[in-house]
Amino acid sequence: MKRHIEFKDTQREIHYFRLRLALSLGFVLLLLLILLARFVYLQVMQQSHYQTLAENNRISIVPIAPSRGLILDRNGVILAHNYSAYTLEITLNKVADLKATIDELAKLIDIQPGDRKRFKRLLADNRKFESLPIRNRLTDDEVARFSAQRYRFPGVEIKARLFREYPYHEQISHLVGYIGRINEGEAAQLEEDEMAANYRGSDYIGKTGIERSYEGELHGKTEVLAFVSKPGYDPNLFIDGIDEQSWNELNNSPDVPLNNRALRGQYSPGSTIKPFMALAGLHYNKRAPSYTISDPGYFSLPGSRHRYRDWKKEGHGSVDLFKSIVVSCDTYYYGLATELGIDNIYSLFSEFGFGKKTGIDMEGEVSGLMPSPEWKQKRYKQRWYAGDTVSVGIGQGYNLVTPLQLAYATATLANDGVAYRPHLLKEVQISRTNEKRTLATTPESNLNLNSEHLALVKSAMVAVTQPGGTAAKAGADAPYTFAGKTGTAQVIGIKQGEKYIESKIQERHRDHAWFMAFAPSDQPKIALAVLVENGGHGSSTAAPIARKVLDYFLLGKMPQPLLIEDDAEGVEHD
């Protein structure tokens, strides 16, 4: 490799150097051409592809949670509304060490064990890239504290979210219901109904009550328009998922607050069925209005020594149809039921909606029970005895009704046999257009009852609330006339010859008190059924409540706190 260069041969040396320089220039030009080719490839041939990618970077579709519709009552009082609050949310796949992150957050923000538990449960149900709340409803202080430290928590964000709130807490929880996080089953259902796209932006769905039955209307647009079950629960507890302790308290309470009694409670109707029995007697020509019995205080089936006792031991004396309702004579109806037979009773009562769902716009309604020989055969593998019919006649047999069913039947009676389907919704208002959609009210059926029969039964029911009737006290001084009927549903059976003494019986085993009513009696505007569990007599506990409801509805009188007299001896009884 030794190369001798003549000392003076600079010309050759320069030539040699320039050759290398020229090669370098060629190298430079070649590489620049490669670069240029690359630019042409990217910017001309692939331009639209990269344009799309850049647009995808720039534009991302963020689903916006729709503002859930408000629920108002008919007077515009808000029953469910939304408010905005901050949540602290964690996106799992952006966080390296979840536990450490939460521990660190807990130093800034109050995070309870319950919050952690709830978060863990959410984690199990959701995907890693979703942002899940660790704390809801941050205070302004907490928001400020976190914001200052935010850089320390990649993957943790504060988000403004709309929350649902139920201002009336437990008072109307069964009616309004509540919303909760969409669970797997509901997600699958939405997917199936091709509704999933509508829920991209929100995590909540109606779980019970109006929130559930009008999910379609409430989700993202509208507003809805009594019905009470007590004790209730605070629906606000359920929105974020209820904690274990509160759930146990609610679920194990002997008062069963989670049960929507109006819709799902099944009780013996007791004497409240007497007006319907009376109608049946007239309808099937088994009783004339003038037909009178002499009540010895009990009834016995022909050829039997078993005594079906009247609630009034000494009997009511001479009783016709009118009086049988006013004083609630059991003996009259023992005989009437026997003569009518279970088939006739079943037939007319079914038309009044007993034993069937009313079809109200709310999930979870139960159908009650209207017994028939076929039903008994199927259920108990026993034939129907004449005694069964006797018990059904005063509403203490196999028959079970829900308060809603009784209210429905009362309304049908008040409407002279024209039945309307009950509904909670009055109208739907589209907030964007303010367009109102009122629910159509068309009669469901007409029972075609004789108007004279109806007038007689109704007048007897009016007399119930007047001096001499079983609910005279509740009807006292009413500026309107109203029709009613008390009832008592037995909780435990009383042996033959024993006396029912309320004070000696545990509250839990006391009778349930009923009162059904409609008013004003000539032009009915409202029909209702009130049930007080273990309330004893309908006259002393249920009827006063009904009176207050009527006063409020017809007169706009706000109810005073109710004082129920605990008159164990019960001057009035049914």
Partner 1 sequence: MDCGQHAASLSYAAAVPVYLLGLVLLIAVAFFGEITNGARRWLNIGVTTIQPSELMRIAVPLMMAWYFEKHEAILTLKNYFIATLLLLLPVALIARQPDLGTAILIAASGFYVLFLAGISWRVILTFLIISMASMPLAWSTLHDYQRHRIMMLLDPAQDALGRGYHTIQAIIAVGSGGVVGKGYLSGTQSHLDFLPERTTDFIFAVYSEEFGLLGNLVLLSLYLFVIMRGFVITAHASTYFTRLMAGSITLTFFTYAFVNMGMVSGILPVVGVPLPLISYGGTSMVILLLGFGILMSIHTARN
| Cβ at position 98, least distance to partner 1 in Å | 19
In the bound state with partner 1, the residue whose beta carbon lies nearer, of 6 and 140, is 6
| Cβ at position 59, least distance to partner 1 in Å | 9
Bridge partners, residue 162, by sequence? 84
Bridge partners, residue 165, by sequence? 81
Q: How far is CA 363 from CA 207, 225, 263, 402, in A?
A: 9, 17, 9, 14
- Give the other-Cβ count within 10 Å of 108's Cβ: 15
| Cβ at position 130, least distance to partner 1 in Å | 17
235 membership: H or E segment, kind and range? none
Measured CA to CA, the distance from residue 284 to residue 343 in angstroms comes to: 11
Residue 489: closest CA among 174, 230, 266: 266
In the bound state with partner 1, the residue whose beta carbon lies nearer, of 25 and 568, is 25
Which residues have CB under 8 Å from 493's CB, separation 6+?
none
In the bound state with partner 1, the residue whose beta carbon lies nearer, of 7 and 305, is 7
Q: How far is CA 413 from CA 3, 146, 167, in A?
A: 126, 63, 35
In the bound state with partner 1, the residue whose beta carbon lies nearer, of 35 and 188, is 35
Question: Is 380 an interacting residue with respect to partner 1 (CB under 8 A)?
Answer: no
Measured CA to CA, the distance from residue 216 to residue 224 in angstroms comes to: 12
CA 372 centroid distance within chain: 31
Bridge partners, residue 135, by sequence? 88
User: What is the footprint of partner 1 within residues 21-50 (CB under 8 A)?
Assistant: 21, 24-25, 28, 31-32, 34-36, 38-40, 42-44, 46-47, 49-50
| Cβ at position 62, least distance to partner 1 in Å | 15
In the bound state with partner 1, the residue whose beta carbon lies nearer, of 49 and 152, is 49
Q: Is 271 known to be catalytic?
A: yes
| Cβ at position 10, least distance to partner 1 in Å | 9
Residue from 8, 11, 20, 496 that binds partner 1 (CB under 8 A)? Answer: 20
Measured CA to CA, the distance from residue 118 to residue 133 in angstroms comes to: 9
Binding letters toward partner 1, positions 137-176, x by CB under 8 A = ----------------------------------------
Q: Which of 271, 324, 521, 539 is catalytic?
A: 271
Q: Which stretch binds partner 1 (CB under 8 A): 17-25, 62-70, 262-270, 527-535?
A: 17-25
Residue 288: closest CA among 253, 339, 251: 339
Measured CA to CA, the distance from residue 198 to residue 218 in angstroms comes to: 12
In the bound state with partner 1, the residue whose beta carbon lies nearer, of 127 and 305, is 127
Question: Is 4 an interacting residue with respect to partner 1 (CB under 8 A)?
Answer: yes
User: What is the footprint of partner 1 within residues 480-499 (CB under 8 A)?
Assistant: none
Report the chain's terminal Cα–Cα distance, integer Å: 131
CA quadruple 536, 539, 544, 546: dihedral positive or negative?
positive
In the bound state with partner 1, the residue whose beta carbon lies nearer, of 23 and 226, is 23
Question: Is 15 an interacting residue with respect to partner 1 (CB under 8 A)?
Answer: no
| Cβ at position 433, least distance to partner 1 in Å | 36
Q: How far is CA 48 from CA 207, 558, 559, in A?
A: 47, 70, 72
CA 159 centroid distance within chain: 30
Measured CA to CA, the distance from residue 507 to residue 501 in angstroms comes to: 12
Measured CA to CA, the distance from residue 504 to residue 519 in angstroms comes to: 36
Residue from 15, 54, 200, 248 that binds partner 1 (CB under 8 A)? Answer: 54
Q: Which stretch binds partner 1 (CB under 8 A): 12-20, 225-233, 457-465, 534-542?
A: 12-20
Q: Which stretch binds partner 1 (CB under 8 A): 14-22, 245-253, 388-396, 485-493?
A: 14-22
In the bound state with partner 1, the residue whose beta carbon lies nearer, of 2 and 383, is 2
| Cβ at position 128, least distance to partner 1 in Å | 14
Q: How many positions of this chain bind partner 1 (CB under 8 A)?
A: 36
Which residues have CB under 8 Å from 377's CB, separation 6+?
383, 384
| Cβ at position 55, least distance to partner 1 in Å | 8
| Cβ at position 87, least distance to partner 1 in Å | 26
Measured CA to CA, the distance from residue 104 to residue 551 in angstroms comes to: 58
Q: Which stretch binds partner 1 (CB under 8 A): 9-17, 134-142, 283-291, 350-358?
A: 9-17
Residue 203: closest CA among 175, 229, 184: 184
Residue from 57, 75, 433, 442 that binds partner 1 (CB under 8 A)? Answer: 57
- Give the other-Cβ count within 10 Å of 111's Cβ: 17
Which residues participate in catalysis according to the annotation?
Answer: 271
Tell me which residues touch partner 1 (CB under 8 A).
Answer: 1-5, 7, 13, 16-18, 20-21, 24-25, 28, 31-32, 34-36, 38-40, 42-44, 46-47, 49-51, 53-55, 57-58
